[in-house]
């Protein structure tokens, strides 16, 4: 872009004309954090139905207390990267607990899931090798492949046979196949067992980013892999994030000891950034404990998702096929989705419009997410409002 005011104005104006301009709403908790999911959105009262706080842990008082106590003890900042002086006792313990939780030899903490994905793809496929990605995988996996100059191909969404054809069209080899476990904007699951078979048959890494499955899916909340009955042999590299079901912040990669050692030695997004603050690690440890001892949270969010999905379908709300707490309402155009967002807010519900480039053109949607913190009445109220609003939208 040219350095002049006109070029900037033109670029921003184009977003505006396409109804693609983003606007941040400022959310405030009511008198106490514990009142979430009731919030104010730019001063208007509403129930939050678009956070990723599936287990309702982000505002849990015991987690906040663990964070506060660790801040008093260790300070707010870690002061350096993990490889210098920033790796503290809370990080070390959290890594051990995450390895145990995922049933893998080792886990390595990252500041964000975005960085964890950059690290994994860069370390395992950084030599210009071939990388295969699901067409709808998270933007951070795409950016990871771009950044490390991998030759990457995207295969049709959730289609292992398409992945196999993509492999065959190349020289039959790839360094890595990567996919979300649960797709973040769609809520459906990847065909993990088939991708596991394919990756083993072709000797390539399979990386599963389970940002939205961990803590929620599987008989004990171990995520998409547990849901599909897959172990470390089937899926050697697991990426998890801590800012969603676990309610805090940060991310990790779990896998065999040598895989983790390679990341620690070589991944630039690991080495060249300040370690995440220890209070966040301490808070996450507390969140893991609460999630383990309160399985009702997982059961509840899934049962609310079923309640929402059944009732919304009965009212003719255009839901996408999903059995997870991510329940998108497919509305198509940016105009329709923005109108629905506004009317829902008028009715007291905050569900943000998801538009291109986050999703494909013509597939704008309201990404409804359920949480263990919602009440049945709130869910029923949302369904009723959606039914009424969607029925009155212009075509
Ligand atoms: C949110 C998300 C990420 C990024 O994680 P952050 O910790 O928020 O950076 C990565 N992958 C998927 C699938 C996600 O949904």
Asked if pLDDT for residue 172 goes beyond 80, the answer is no
7 and 1 Cβ atoms separated by less than 8 Å: yes
Cα dihedral 63→68→73→75 (10° resolution): 110
Q: How confident is the model at residue 389 (pLDDT cuts 50, 70, 90)?
A: very high
pLDDT averaged over every residue in the chain: 96
As a whole number, mean pLDDT of residues 280-289 equals 98
Q: Is the pLDDT of residue 49 over 80?
A: yes
Give the model confidence (pLDDT) of 77-102 as tens digits: 999 999 999 999 999 999 999 999 99
* Residue 284 near ligand 1, beta carbon < 6 Å: no
Quote the ligand 1 centre to 171 CA distance (angstroms).
31
> Out of 3.40.1160.10, 3.90.1150.10, 3.40.50.2300, 3.40.50.300, which CATH number does the structure's domain 22-51+295-392 have?
3.90.1150.10
Q: What is the pLDDT of residue 113?
A: 98
Per-residue model confidence as pLDDT tens digits over 236-274:
999 999 999 999 999 999 999 999 999 999 999 999 999
Statement: residue 306 has pLDDT above 90: yes
Residue 168 binned pLDDT confidence (cut-offs 50, 70, 90):
confident
Given pLDDT bands bounded at 50, 70 and 90, which one contains residue 1?
confident
Model pLDDT, residue 364: 97
Report the distance separating Cα 305 and Cα 303, nearest Å: 5
Centroid of ligand 1 to alpha carbon of 317 (angstroms)? 27
Q: Is 233 known to be catalytic?
A: no
195, 177 in Cβ contact below 8 A? yes
Could you tell me the fold of the domain covering 61-293?
Answer: 3.40.640
Q: How many residues does the chain have?
A: 395
**Does residue 217 register a pLDDT over 90?**
yes
| Confidence band of 336 (pLDDT split at 50, 70, 90) | very high
Q: Which two tokens stand for residue 225?
A: 């892999």
Cα–Cα dist 47/206, whole Å: 38
Atom of ligand 1 nearest to the CA of 251: 7
Nearest by Cα to 183 from 124, 125, 237, 133 = 133
For residue 385, give every residue at least 6 positions away whose Cβ sits within 8 Å of its Cβ, in sequence order, or none: 343, 344, 347, 348, 349
The CA distance from 249 to 116, in Å, is 13
**Beta carbon of 109 within 6 Å of any ligand 1 atom:** no
**pLDDT of 171 strictly over 80:** no
Predicted local confidence at residue 281, as pLDDT: 98
Query: Which one of the listed residues 138, 244, 322, 364 is annotated catalytic?
Result: 244
213 pocket-lining for ligand 1 (C-beta < 6 Å)? no
Query: Structural domain boundaries of the chain?
Result: 22-51+295-392, 61-293
Contact assessment for residue 225 and residue 181, using Cβ atoms and an 8 Å cutoff: yes
pLDDT at residue 2, rounded to an integer: 85
pLDDT of 342 higher than 90? yes
- How does pLDDT run across 112-137, given as a tens digit for each residue? 999 999 999 999 998 888 999 999 99
Neighbours of 266 (CB within 10 A): 14
Pocket flag, ligand 1, residue 140 (CB < 6 Å): yes
């Amino acid at each position: 872009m040219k350095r002049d005011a006109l070029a900037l104005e033109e670029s921003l104006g184009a977003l505006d004309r396409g109804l693609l301009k983003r606007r941040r709403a400022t959310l405030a908790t009511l008198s106490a954090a514990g009142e979430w999911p009731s919030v104010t959105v730019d001063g208007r009262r509403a129930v939050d139905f678009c956070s990723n706080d599936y287990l309702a842990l982000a505002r849990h008082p015991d987690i906040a207390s663990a964070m506060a106590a660790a801040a008093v003890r260790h300070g707010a900042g870690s002061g350096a990267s993990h490889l210098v002086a920033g790796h503290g006792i809370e990080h070390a313990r959290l890594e051990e607990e995450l390895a145990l939780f995922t049933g893998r030899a080792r886990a390595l903490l990252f500041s964000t899931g975005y960085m964890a994905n950059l690290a994994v793809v860069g370390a395992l496929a950084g030599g210009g090798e071939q990388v295969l990605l699901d067409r709808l995988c998270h933007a951070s996996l795409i950016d990871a492949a771009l950044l490390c100059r991998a030759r990457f191909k995207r295969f049709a969404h959730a289609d292992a046979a398409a992945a196999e054809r993509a492999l065959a069209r190349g020289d039959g080899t790839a360094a890595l196949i990567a996919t979300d476990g649960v797709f973040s904007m769609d809520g459906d699951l990847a065909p993990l067992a088939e991708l596991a078979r394919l990756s083993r048959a072709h000797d390539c890494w399979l990386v599963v980013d389970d940002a939205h499955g961990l803590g929620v899916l599987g008989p004990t909340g171990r995520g998409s892999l547990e849901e599909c009955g897959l172990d470390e042999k089937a899926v050697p590299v697991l990426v998890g994030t801590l800012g969603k079901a676990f309610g805090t912040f940060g991310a990790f990669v779990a896998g065999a000891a040598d895989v983790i050692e390679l990341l620690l030695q070589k991944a630039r997004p690991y080495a060249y950034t300040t370690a995440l603050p220890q209070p966040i690690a301490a808070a996450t440890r507390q969140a893991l404990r609460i999630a383990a001892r309160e399985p009702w949270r997982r059961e509840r969010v899934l049962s609310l998702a079923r309640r929402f999905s059944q009732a919304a379908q009965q009212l003719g709300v255009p839901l996408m096929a999903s059995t997870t707490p991510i329940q998108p309402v497919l509305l198509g155009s940016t105009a329709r989705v923005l109108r629905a967002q506004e009317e829902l807010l008028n009715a007291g519900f905050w569900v943000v419009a998801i538009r291109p480039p986050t999703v494909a053109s013509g597939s704008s949607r309201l990404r409804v997410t359920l949480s263990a913190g919602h009440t049945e009445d709130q869910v029923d109220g949302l369904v009723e409002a959606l039914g009424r609003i969607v029925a009155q939208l212009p075509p």
